[in-house]
Each structure stands twice: as structure tokens, then as C-alpha cells.
Chain A
């Protein structure tokens, strides 16, 4: 009896416990449901909406890229894509085999596409934007459930011209490199869509309203590129590449008055429509903005402009004696001409591109001033051109600069710059001192109304030198072309000014490489009012003497002459005449070159052009023979061998 009583009380107590436990459980559930419903409910509702709505995409048309006159550089052409509707295909194996024979895919892959449990399947990427031949083949077969859908493909009418600048767009018309990538947002427009709500199988739900967003086509992009100038540049570089088989080559033409790029190209180049055929390094490296190297003598323009701006030198009155080398703190710096240029005015120092003369100019300016001008001219930082992949270049940091570094910088060694930096700096030197930011995109045009939506104005960074300094430099550089190292860039009637550059390349081990130079020339015209600045650099040309005046200058001359005529720039008749300035040396006596080493040739190269045959470092024969008289600029052919042998001489 006692047991029972205790037990009954226990039972009741236990029941109360179960009761409280039950209330607790219902409480937990209620709190949890409330949490899901209210605390995270909004987020969940959003997700639910996404999962319920289906979008039918309406693709916008990608904008065209145009040159400054409206010439089309990139456009869209229609190319069909293959779409299959699996439910309409009665014999998937047969259809798969037929598709596999036309498109670039295996029977198994094709079978996967045609047997998918979807209402329609786009064969991607093998069946996207197919060729005309494939299109005809599919139309001929006329298979049930296989359709050709309209799709558009990027087309570049100029082929591989301007390829690095234009870049290319991928299979879904998304810009991947160049302008196509840089201005992808503007060019690609906005997708339109028809959104409707659906059940899990994709069926449309009538009770929820559809929404339609029309697509917005991309804007046309008008550039500063002049397709005529571009064509000339491309032609000249093609010729140079064929002739010299260089490791690389590049050319830039800009309008010095605005900073607008007229033309730009690199070798090797590629066709944007078949970019997959080349190595990614080829299309990713837009050499004019990507490559950095020692500029060599073209950099002397900066030293010259700085010295003139600081009134450090009078080109006609001050004189300099070059005996072949100059000693800076015990380091001997050589002139490129063995034995030196002797006694010269500073104008002649410029014309002869005499290294010791420039060392003198730079040393007189001093580290602080020279480097502040270098930075003011935009070296050491990106120019900000509207393309991807631009490099900075490298300058000596102030604490690294001693007298030797200052001296070598004065003639363009020990600094690393990009081609576009040089072009913009020289543009500033010759345009009255105004440093502009280079640019390519000029206008965005509404594709429907053809109205300009947005115009990009030239962007002035700063004024570096005065107008009178600028004029002095122009005169000096005109002399270089008319009478000095840049003679092969001379263009009759267009007052070309410019400067050669021969920069020894630094190898992977950090030392200068033997017989491996970047040969460059930077030129502008007309010298009284420059309309164009052109820079050409040829990397390690073969079968020639590696000297800028020899290889790059004539290319720049041709580009400038043809471009100014194409741009209908008025010819001048007040320029310096090429021949009149060398009346005492109308003919050149052919020197005896046999037995010399190839490197020794440098000093003969200014007034004769040299072609080589064979390979090796030693000259074993020459034509015409020593003592003959040649017109200036005429060719001497030399024969090379690995070593000089007495037998060969006889």
C-alpha cells in the first residue's frame, strides 16, 4: 500500500515533467518557424522569386568600332548557331552521327546534346557561329528537330591590322582584350529579357504577370585611329618584318596636338577573328604600351629639351670637343663613334648624336633638374592610355643616382621606358610643351539615332617646357634629319624632325647582350607645326647593321610622308634641304672594311648604308672596293665570316 501511494505521486510528478517537456518542444518549434518565416523570410522570399522566374534573354547588338572618319574597324556579321529540340528527334543516334560529321564534336558528345531532357538545347560551343560550309551542310540534311538560330559574330574588316588595339570579343560577344575589353560595358549594351514565372518544370504560371525589358544595343565607338595612317604603318612594318626578320617590331603614330592615337601596331600580330590560332603572349602583349627597354639616343631629346629650357646651352654658340670618350668619376663613357666627333657646336652634337656631348649637358643640369624633367615628361608612370596592359617603365630611384647614372641617363641608358611614354614625351617637346594623355576612344554614338552620346576631349596633363624651347628643339631635330644621323627619314616637302635610337638589350642575366639591339627612330612633321609624331622600333633585326638611322629612320620617313599626304597636310617649301647642307662632301670615299670586326662598322654608317651577306663577326670582302666614290646613302655590300683568314683576303 505504501509503495502504491509513493508510486502514484511519482507518476503524477513524472506526468507533469512530460507535460512541461511537451510545452517546451512546441515552444521550440514555434520559435523556429517564426525565425524562418520572419527573420530570414525576406531573404528566402527573394530566393524563391529567383527560382520561380524564368528569363528569355534578348541579346543586344554589340556596338561597332569606327575610325575617326567613321570607317568601320569592328562590326557584327550574322552567323548561325545550331539548336536542337530533342523531343522532335526520332532517331537521336542517327542525328548525332550526322551532326558529328559536320561540327567539331564526337558522336557521343552530339548524342548528349540531342538526348537532353530539355525543350531546346543550344550546341555550345561547337555549334555556335558556324561557318558557311557547315551552314550549307546542315541546311542540306534538313534534319527534324535541328534548327539554325540567328547569332552574330564579330568581324574585323581590316583583318590583322590594328589587332592589338581593337582586341577581340569571345563567343558570347564579350570583350576579352584591347578596346573590346576596355570599353566592353559601352559596346556590349544591356541584355533585354522577358521574365515569366514558372513551375518547377518550366511551365508558365498565368497568375503572375510577365515583364518585358527590351535589350539596349551597345554604343558605336568612334576612335582617334586614322585607318589610312594605320594601313601605312601596317604596310611598312610588314615590309620591315619581311626584310629584317626581327624578334619584334612596333610603330605608333599620334596627333601631338591632342594626344589622340592615329595608328598603332605590333609584330607579331594576329587576326582577331582567329585569335585562338596564336599564342596568348601574342595577343596579350601590345608592344607599344607593354614593352619596356632602354630608349637609347631617342631619349637625348629629353635631355636636350631640359637643357634648353634651363638656358644651359646655346646650340649654335656653345661648342664641345669629343675625343671619343668622357670620364665621369673614373668611369670612361664612350661615344658610339670610335675616336669621337672632334670639335663641334652643340647643334652638331645633337646631329651626330654624340654621347659625351649629352653627358656634358646632363651633368651640367644636375641630377635633380634632369630627373624632375624626366618625370614631368611622364616617364616612370603609366600614360593612362585607354588600353589594358600598360607598363610603368623604371627610372633610377633618387638615392641610386650618382654621377655615372646621371651621365648614362643623359644619353638614354639605365632608364627603362615604354614606347608610348617616349611618343607622348616627344609630342610634348614638339607641340609647344604640352604633355597630353594618349587616348583612342573619341566618341560614343547611339546606334539608333547616330547621335553622339559622349565625347572624350583631349586631356592635358601639364605644360613641361615653353613654346620657344619647343621651337628650338624642333629646329635641332630637323637638322638631325636633314643633315645628321637621321638622314634616311628625310621627306621632301614635309620638314621632318627626329632622332635615332640604338639601344642595347639587356639579357636575362642582367647584362647587355652582344649584337642584339632595339633600333628605333622617333620623328615628327612638319617641323614648323607638327601634325604627327611617329615612333618605330625594330627589335633585333637580322642581316643588317644594327643602327637606328639605318633601319628605323627610313621606315618613319616613309610613314610620315605617306601619312601627311593621306591626311592632306599642306607641303612646306621652307624646310632644310637635304643636299645643300653637305656641299663639301657630295661623294663619299668607300673605306677599306676588309679585316674589320662587324662592331667596328658603327662609325661608317651615317653616310653610307650597308648590307651584309653571310654570317659571322669578321668582314672578309666588300663591294664596291675601297677607294671608290659613292653618293651619300648608297649601299656597300660586305661579306661576313666567323674568322678572318689570310687566304680569304687574296
Chain B
């Protein structure tokens, strides 16, 4: 057992747990007032997130142990379930915030799009690793997987959940880029993408979306409407300064800043714990992402490498979109901060992904050590013999 634990990447195990635990504290701080105002216990959001954390930990442990290579064999099932869940939304979905993205079963609600992220990562990693040998063939290798990708993206866009769709799109991009397809094909895909966007954007432009953009770039022009949330976020961050106002001391969470415990939790962290708190959170997130990419580089197996890249991208892209929104460099799209923001489906998917990443890390390290053993054993024996020989001679 100890031997098995030794193979695990300690940093990659501890960082997500630390982040989630820290997130729990901040969720309690940011949500206690909102919870009471909404007529719940002050710990309402905290306990729910704690339950999801427990569930997530189980998923995390299972996935750390379950050999990642077996996902390739389960690929049909995984993709099938996600597609069915997404299609099922049309019939059984519940509309929250104008998007039919949720299944609500009793007190539990979950978002299939979150699971679509990890499923699609697995799918792309699996397909492109299988086709490594003839990846220079555009029609037979590069194009087919994109059809399913576009289909899944389409199902999410029509909910409509542009935020999640763009995240999935960006994750898919990073997996495709890393898969090693030819540069020529990459340029072709980018060209096609640009043309499609050029046609799609005019149809996607709505007043709400325009106001999100103006809200992001000229918040003080419309302080009561589209700029309100960003201004409140700015105020929270601005008040925090270097050290923050102290844990629990946020004023912005008292009804000024909406979604304080979900998408805007980083603003509250900045207000209460200052830049120091911000740097710690970003540091942990960066550790996870960069560590993931590092593992991808080390991984001999291309499925594992692409899976690791996909997972790292997922964390990185979501963190960037979330933090970009609260600091006013991207429009506000309602993307949670990985591990930290309140939200069960997101946390569960994140922790499961971390489990998978840990399993890739462990497998990679084990292989490395075995390789080391194979290459070093004869040498050490030789050295031993030499030494021994000399000893014996002398």
C-alpha cells in the first residue's frame, strides 16, 4: 500500500483538496448572508457543497486507482451516456437563468454539460491517440472526431449555455493542437472555424450579449445595469488591497455583489483576504494546471498525454474565464472558478478529473521507475561487480 502511495504525485493530490477546502470556507463566508436572506440556514450552501465535496472525494479516490487506459474501452458508453443526458434535457430539463441546462431531482440538481467536458476530453484523447500513426491524413484521421465534437457543442449552445460551450470549444482546441496533427491541417481548421464564427456571430448577437460586452469594457457607463456586477466586483477587489479586510469582513457580499459565493467568489476572496489570498488561490490553480501539462509531457502513452492536456486545459480555461470576468478583461458569462466556487456538478467533475490526472501521473511515474530499473539494473550490477571484483582483487 505504502509503495502504491509513493507512486502518486503528492502535489497533485494535495492541491485540489486544499483548494476545495479553502473554497468551502469562502463559500460559507460569502453565502451565509444570502442564505439567510433567501430563507435558509446560514450554512445552507456550505453543507450542500460539503456533501458534494464528500461525493467528489469518493470519485477522486476511485479515479486515482482506476487505470486510465481502460476508459478507452468504455468510450462508447461514456460518450453515449453524455449525449443521451444532453438530449434528455430537451424533455426533462429545468430552466434556470434562462438556460435549459439542469436536471433537478428532488434537492439535487446537476448539469450534464459539466460531464460533457470530461467525456469529450476522453473521446478526443482516445480517438487522436488511436490515429497517431496516420494523423497526417486529414479526412480519415483529423476530421471524423470533430463531427461528434461539433454535435455536442451544438447541444450545449442551444440550451443556451454559451459559457460552457466556449470552454468545451477551447479545451477541444488545446487537445487537437497537442494531438500533433499537421500544422497545415491546423491552419485549415482555424480557417474553417473563423468562417463559421463569421456566420454564427451575427445570429448570436443579442442585446443581452452586447450588454455583457459593454458591461465588461465600459462598466461605469452603465453602473445600474450591465456594468453593475463588474463595478461591484471591482469595488470588492479594490477594497481588499494587499491584506484584505479580514475573513468574514466582506461588505460587498451583503447584497451588493450578486453570485458572491458562486462565480464571483474570487472578488470576495480579494476583499476579505487581499492580494495575498488571491495569489494563493491562483498559485494552487496554476500548480494543478502546470503540473498536469508537465505530466502530459512525461507520459509515454499518447492517450494519457492528451487526457492530461485536456484536463489541465479544462481547469486553466475555466479559471481564466472566471478570473477574467471578475477583473474586467472578459465579459461575464457565468463560469464557476474550479474547486472554489459553489456548484456541485462542477466540483464533482473537477475532482473526478483530478483523480484521472493522478492516475496518469502514477502510471507515468511507475513506468518511468520500471524503465529506470530496467536500464539501471545491469549497470549497478556491473558497478557492484566491478567494485566487488576490485575489492576482492585488492
Contacts and interface: CB of A to CB of B under 8 A. Distances in A.
Contacts of B157: none
Interface residues of A, number: 44
A102 interface: no
Contact of A45 (B241, B285, B309): B241
Nearest to A35: B327
A34 interface: yes
A562 B3 CA distance: 119
A44 B235 contact: yes
Nearest to A46: B238
Contacts of A201: 255
A18 B235 contact: no
B323 A51 contact: no
A47 B235 contact: yes
Contact of A19 (B237, B242, B255, B290): B290
B186 to A, nearest CB: 9
Nearest to A13: B180
Contacts of B33: 199
Contacts of A36: 234, 237-238, 327-328
Interface string A1-26: 00110011011101111110011011
A141 B374 CA distance: 100
A11 B302 CA distance: 8
Interface in A46-73: 47-48, 51-52
Given A22-B316, A38-B275, A197-B251, A48 B238 contact: yes
B252 interface: yes
Nearest to A27: B286
Given A29-B320, A33-B275, A19 B297 contact: yes
A32 interface: yes
A42 interface: yes
A47 B220 CA distance: 12
Interface stretch (B7-15, B127-135, B159-167): B127-135
Interface in B264-300: 270, 274-275, 278-279, 282, 285-286, 289-290, 293-294, 296-297
B93 interface: no
Chain B binding site: helix, strand, loop or mixed by DSSP?
helix
Given A37-B238, A40-B238, A26 B178 contact: no
A18 B293 contact: yes
Interface size, B (range): 35 or more
B394 to A, nearest CB: 47
B305 A11 contact: yes
Nearest to A208: B251
B239 interface: yes
Contacts of B309: 15, 18
Contacts of A41: 237-241
Contacts of A207: 249
A37 B305 contact: no
Contacts of B302: 8, 11
Interface in B227-263: 231, 234-242, 249, 251-252, 254-256
Given A7-B135, A51-B256, A29 B241 contact: no
Contacts of B238: 36-37, 40-45, 47-48
B313 interface: yes
Contact of A28 (B178, B249, B294, B329): B329
A30 interface: yes
Contact of B241 (A8, A37, A43): A37
B174 interface: yes
B312 interface: yes
A35 B324 CA distance: 13
A33 B235 contact: no
A342 B16 CA distance: 118
B179 interface: yes
B239 A25 contact: no
B254 A25 contact: no
Contacts of B239: 41, 44-45, 48
B72 interface: no
A37 B289 contact: no
Contacts of B285: 26
B189 interface: no
Nearest to B183: A10
A11 B252 contact: no
Contact of A37 (B179, B254, B275, B297): B275
Nearest to B37: A201
A451 B294 CA distance: 83
A48 B251 contact: yes
B180 A22 contact: no
A23 B136 CA distance: 29
B177 interface: yes
Contacts of A4: 132-133
Given A7-B180, A11-B180, A19 B294 contact: yes
B254 A205 contact: yes
Contacts of A19: 290, 293-294, 297
B278 A37 contact: yes
B328 A29 contact: no
A11 B237 contact: no
B113 to A, nearest CB: 22
Nearest to B256: A200
Nearest to A19: B293
Contact of A29 (B177, B178, B236, B282): B282
Contacts of A3: 132-136
B111 to A, nearest CB: 24
Contact of B180 (A10, A33, A37, A199): A10
A154 to B, nearest CB: 35
Given A14-B180, A38-B241, A48-B239, A33 B270 contact: yes
B293 A22 contact: yes
A18 B249 CA distance: 38
A29 B293 contact: no
Contacts of A44: 234-235, 237-239
Contact of A205 (B251, B290, B313): B251
Nearest to B132: A7
Given A3-B134, A4-B132, A33 B251 contact: no
Nearest to A197: B251
A3 B182 CA distance: 11
B178 A15 contact: yes
Given A12-B297, A38-B241, A33 B254 contact: no
A15 B300 CA distance: 13
Q: Which of B136, B237, B320 has the most CB of A within 10 A?
A: B237
Given A14-B180, A36-B237, A199 B254 contact: yes
A108 to B, nearest CB: 24
Contacts of B274: 37
Contacts of A200: 254-256
A10 to B, nearest CB: 4
Contacts of B316: 22, 25-26
B133 to A, nearest CB: 6
Interface in B111-137: 132-136
Interface in A327-384: none
14 contacts: A7-B135, A15-B297, A22-B289, A22-B290, A25-B316, A29-B319, A30-B279, A32-B327, A33-B237, A37-B237, A37-B240, A43-B238, A51-B235, A199-B251
Given A30-B279, A33-B275, 5 more contacts: A14-B177, A18-B177, A18-B178, A32-B327, A45-B239
